[in-house]
Amino acid sequence: MRSFSRTGISNRILATLTLFLPCLMICANLATAESKKPDNAAVNQRIQENVELTAQDQSSGPADIAITRQIRKDLMADDALSTYGQNIKIITQNGNITLKGPVRTSGEKLQIEKIALRAQGAKRVMNELEVAPRR
């Protein structure tokens, strides 16, 4: 029969904990990250209820398409804008422009609105851009 000393058992327990403790900590961090996922259920519900405009609401009229095209062209030409700012959604209906999506700063939000207002044929601009938090 084999005898175990307290020191030997303690060393084995310590070695086992040393191996598995980091794994447990990683699993705990992953579980915490899962529980902190952003909840955009309210946004999805507003879109489904047609309370908000989506890209599908873009008018197919030639004047509205021209306005949207001009704004997109001007956004892409502005090197001061972030990639976020250059890729916002632009929805034009009867000369009324809605800007949606994330931008990096409030200054960028205002700059994009100014660009939209300069578009020939623009009547009104609804600025629904949101400043995205940095990660």
Closest CA to 77 of 69, 86, 68: 86
Percent of the chain with pLDDT strictly greater than 70: 65
The whole-number pLDDT of residue 78 equals 94
Strand bridging mode 89-93 / 96-103: antiparallel
CA–CA gap between residue 62 and residue 81 (Å, rounded): 27
Predicted TM-score of the model (pTM): 0.60
Q: Which strands sit side by side in the sheet containing 89-93, from one edge to the other?
A: 89-93, 96-103, 124-131
pLDDT in tens, 44-61: 555 555 567 776 777 778
Closest CA to 86 of 94, 77, 76: 76
